């Protein structure tokens, strides 16, 4: 689809500086702009690219004043925040790209399932007994939706996602390929012979609204009750969430993090990549955990930690300075030891032959 600069400016509450009738049908980075594309300038380090871009439209700040001649083919749209405005356009572009409806064949939809309006079910999908797909759900090829699963309005589930029986997914969620929701929690009990006996995992997973789950994440069902992902949580690719974990609203978790069973994580947290969190902990609200940290104890609200085992990030950084200097410190200590031995030898010699 094509849009004029004037239409885009109206949508973004911006101001056109140039030809309001110029049309664009795609987006591009500013250094790769070409005719018919829209770009943006948010970082001053890219300003020079603006004067040579071949893009047709560029989003700039309201206060932007060019210091060189702007290409005649370029129309500016002045907005308060070019990055946020561009992100809004990208979101709309993506939504249009995935706007599909209907049930493709071959696929299986149980006659006992409930399918809302405007739902898309791609080829080779399976929708089980009692499942509910609310209005506008997009289910891309090779997905399986188990019995009695409920998927909320407007949620998009990409190819190859598997949602086990009884799980709940809220509205306006985005779930990327390869995600498994509701697989068994890692529950085993050793018997008197040391053999591990499986403990049945009879709970489910509850995902609230506006959650995004990256590719190849796994979220285990609860042993009893629910594993809960609260509103607005964002999980990067390759995150493991174990049984009975709860992640608070608007917390972000970066790739390759593993969260062990029954841990409670508060809201608005930030958890870096490759973090390991042991089970049965309580992590407070607004906690920030640096990448590759190991968390083995509860953390209070607003804690900022790093290291394995993790401790306060200020102490960690000061300790790391010492750690980096250990080879030099070792040499200095060795030199001091040699000097002490030399002085001790002199002292012993004086004791054996005192001055008269």
Does the pLDDT value for residue 320 go beyond 80? no
Q: pLDDT tens digits, residue range 22-39?
A: 999 999 999 999 999 999
Kindly indicate the confidence band of residue 164, based on its pLDDT and cuts at 50, 70 and 90: very high
Q: pLDDT higher for 285 or 312? A: 285
Of the chain, the percentage scoring pLDDT greater than 90 comes to: 81
Q: pLDDT tens digits, residue range 179-221?
A: 999 999 999 999 999 999 999 999 999 999 999 999 999 999 9
Does the pLDDT value for residue 319 go beyond 90? no
Kindly indicate the confidence band of residue 316, based on its pLDDT and cuts at 50, 70 and 90: confident
Give the least confident one: 104-113, 128-137, 315-324.
Answer: 315-324
Kindly indicate the confidence band of residue 327, based on its pLDDT and cuts at 50, 70 and 90: confident
Give the per-residue pLDDT at 354: 65
Rounded to the nearest integer, the mean pLDDT of the chain is: 93
Give the per-residue pLDDT at 244: 97
Which of 37, 34, 33, 38 is CA-nearest to residue 14?
A: 38
Kindly indicate the confidence band of residue 355, based on its pLDDT and cuts at 50, 70 and 90: low
Q: pLDDT higher for 135 or 98? A: 135
- Identify whether 250 is a catalytic site residue: no
Kindly indicate the confidence band of residue 352, based on its pLDDT and cuts at 50, 70 and 90: confident
Tell me how long the chain is: 356
Does the pLDDT value for residue 132 go beyond 80? yes
Q: pLDDT higher for 236 or 313? A: 236
Give the least confident one: 84-98, 108-122, 239-253, 269-283.
Answer: 84-98
Kindly indicate the confidence band of residue 351, based on its pLDDT and cuts at 50, 70 and 90: confident
> Which residue in the list 243, 280, 334, 353 is annotated as catalytic?
243
Which of 123, 133, 125, 181 is CA-nearest to residue 154?
A: 133
Which residues, 6+ apart, have CB-to-CB distance to 169 below 8 Å?
149, 150, 151, 152, 155, 157, 163, 175, 181, 207, 211
Which of 197, 208, 216 is CA-nearest to residue 167?
A: 208
Which of 317, 283, 321, 320 is CA-nearest to residue 302?
A: 283
Does the pLDDT value for residue 329 go beyond 80? yes
Record the pTM: 0.81
Mean pLDDT for the stretch of residues 129-147: 98
Give the per-residue pLDDT at 356: 52
């Amino acid at each position: 689809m094509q849009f004029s600069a004037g239409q885009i400016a109206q949508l973004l509450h911006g101001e056109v500086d140039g030809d309001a009738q110029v049309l664009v049908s795609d987006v591009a980075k500013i250094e790769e702009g070409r005719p018919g594309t829209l770009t943006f300038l948010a970082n001053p380090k890219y300003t020079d690219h603006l004067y040579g871009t071949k893009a047709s439209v560029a989003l700039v700040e309201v206060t932007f004043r060019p210091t060189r001649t702007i290409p005649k083919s370029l129309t500016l749209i002045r907005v308060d925040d070019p990055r946020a405005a561009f992100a809004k356009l990208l979101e709309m572009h993506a939504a249009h790209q995935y706007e599909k409806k209907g049930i493709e064949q071959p696929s299986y939809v149980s006659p006992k399932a409930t399918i809302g309006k405007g739902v898309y079910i791609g080829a080779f999908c399976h929708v089980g007994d009692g499942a509910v797909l609310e209005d506008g759900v997009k289910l891309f090829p090779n997905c399986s939706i188990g019995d009695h699963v409920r998927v909320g309005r407007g949620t998009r589930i990409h190819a190859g996602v598997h949602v086990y029986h009884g799980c709940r997914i809220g509205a306006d969620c985005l779930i990327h390929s390869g995600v498994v929701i509701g697989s068994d929690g890692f529950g085993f009990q050793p018997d008197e012979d040391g053999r591990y006996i499986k403990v049945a995992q009879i709970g489910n997973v509850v995902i609230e609204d506006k959650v995004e789950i990256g590719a190849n994440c796994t979220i285990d069902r609860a042993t009893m009750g629910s594993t809960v992902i609260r509103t607005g949580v964002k999980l990067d690719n390759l995150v493991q969430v174990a049984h009975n974990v709860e992640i608070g609203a608007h917390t972000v978790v970066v790739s390759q993090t593993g969260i062990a069973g029954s841990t409670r994580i508060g809201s608005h947290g930030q958890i870096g990549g490759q973090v390991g969190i042991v089970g049965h902990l309580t992590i407070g609200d607004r906690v920030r955990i640096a990448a590759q940290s190991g968390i083995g104890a509860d953390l209070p609200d607003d804690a900022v930690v790093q290291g394995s085992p993790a401790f306060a990030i200020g102490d960690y950084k000061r300790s790391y300075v010492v750690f980096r200097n250990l080879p030099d410190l070792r040499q200095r200590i060795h030199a001091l030891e040699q000097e002490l031995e030399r002085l001790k030898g002199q002292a012993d010699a004086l004791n054996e032959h005192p001055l008269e």
